[in-house]
Amino acid sequence: MPAAFLLTAAGWGANQFSSLLGGYQAEFGLSGQAVTGLLVLYVAGLLPGLLLGGPMGDQYGRRPVVFGAIAISVAGTAALMAGVIATPWLVVGRLLAGVSTGAVLAAGSAWVRDLSHPPFGTAVEDGVGARRAGVLLSLGFSVSGLVSALIAQWGPNPLVIAYVPHLVLSVAGLALALSCPETRTRDVQRSSQASGIRDPRFRRLVLPVSLWVFVGPTVAFGVLPAQVAAEVRGFELVYAGVAALLAPGFGAVVQPLARRVARRGECAPAIVGLLALTAGLAFAATAAWLVLPWLGLFADLLLGAGYGFCATFCLTVVGRIAPPAALARLTAAFWVIAYLGFCTPLVVSLLEPVVAAPVVLAVLGSLALVTCAVVSAGDQPDRDGQERRRADHIERLRDAGVL
């Protein structure tokens, strides 16, 4: 749990900026496309963080990579605080936030999974490490948006003070995690990331589902608040903060339920998540079209449920198919694909002059439903697939020293 708490700190640093978009727009006169561009700029830093953090975590160890990434996250937050002096610091801060979060997601998710299973932990249930990583990440991702919004709405010097909680959380997380051991074993035979990517389950299941993981949360806090702002005048920041809490927060709540749903089939959590996402996008389109803030908040819950089920499904399948020496790298490959969904608000903003946002949201909902049908078609259990999963599980137990 102390290692997983660092994922909370990383999630906090990643999303503390989102609910402040309206504040920066009002304070500095930035355009809507400029502030959504700052939101997406985070992805530009995140991709190299993932691509470097995964291999480095497998080669040099999860622990030093995660600790170094949290230090970079603190530096990024300091740069965002300096943004009130010179706006270019916002660019630096968002890039550093992306780099640090990417490295923590890649190496940290693998570290938490390793610590959750023998010989480091006591849990032997399949997927428990993935759920712990997902829940703690979502906790920071969700709470940070609301806390930042409340500070920005009523606090003094809000565009500086709103970042202080992340600094405190990061320092406390590092202190708690000092007792967590390194889990990378030197006697594990090296294996390439490609051995996991070539697995049919990665291409057929993880790849299409991962594209949708962050579509729901980013629509919730990056698109809907601006669409219903006319009905919440004076409380735009608070509304955005509540949206940033509801979607990722509800995603954290539903992730433990994925285990029960998975009993009905390996792809059952993905199917539930994509259906929830389809419904959420339909309600989001209606809320944006009719300018109904309350309906937007209801849509946020469904969008969060889609995020929670899809993220847990992908992390669980990656944990099953990744060779022990390539777990962090394959986890990084998943997060690289998943974070493409973070570009959704920018796409909606760029298309808005020619296509209304409700129409774009409705089209996205239709595409999510198509993806659900594709995944359902690929979830046809056969004898070979069952034997492969059984063999994977036995191999994991042997690597852990249980067998």
Q: What angle do CA 314, 316, 319 make, to 5 degrees?
A: 110
Q: Which of 30, 43, 10 is nearest to 339 (CA)?
A: 43
* Domain topology for 2-180+192-399: Growth Hormone; Chain: A; (1.20.1250)
pLDDT of residue 29: 76
Select, from the ranges 45-59, 224-238, 272-286, 305-319, the one with the highest average predicted confidence (pLDDT): 272-286
pLDDT band per the 50, 70, 90 thresholds, residue 384: very low
Q: Which two tokens stand for residue 266?
A: 């390996």
- Residue 112 pLDDT greater than 80, yes or no: yes
Burial 336-371 (b: 16+ CB within 10 A, else e): bbbbbbbbbbbebbeebeeebbbbbbbebbeebbeb
* Distance (Å, whole) CA 26 – CA 240: 14
Kindly report which listed range (40-54, 118-132, 305-319) carries the lowest average pLDDT score. Answer: 118-132
pLDDT of residue 121: 55
pLDDT of residue 197: 66
Sign of CA dihedral 60, 61, 63, 66: positive
pLDDT band per the 50, 70, 90 thresholds, residue 382: very low
- Residue 295 pLDDT greater than 90, yes or no: yes
pLDDT of residue 193: 46
Mean pLDDT value of segment 95-119: 83
Enter the pTM of the model. Answer: 0.74
Burial 153-165 (b: 16+ CB within 10 A, else e): beeeebbbebbeb
Which residues are CB-neighbours of 8 under 8 A, at least 6 positions away?
136, 137, 139, 140, 169, 173
pLDDT of residue 315: 82
pLDDT of residue 122: 55
